[in-house]
Structure 1
């Protein structure tokens, strides 16, 4: 009975590529949050190209 309780309280750890997951320090680890960025990464470049093409069309 105590063996089942001990296994339930310790959780499960996996050795994956030489790294123990989850880390034994996961509860004290700082949380890193990276907010989602724009889906289209080249917004500035697209705006410059659009401005250039509009400028070329205005010249003709």
Structure 2
């Protein structure tokens, strides 16, 4: 009788330990009081932050085109002066 009780206790402890390990390794994302709480994998998630940049993305190209236009106008003005 003592061996059956001992075997039952070992199986219960093993099942409980397995359940605890399974719950600890499972990533569960939940919503609690309006907050989205992280899953178990939040450390491995990709960062979804994009640093703010200039509003106009082609600033250097626009400046180069403006400088080129000014150079052309200056050359044309120099040719017209006798």
Q: TM-score, normalised by structure 1?
A: 0.49
Q: TM-score, normalised by structure 2?
A: 0.38
Structure showing the higher helix proportion among its residues: 2
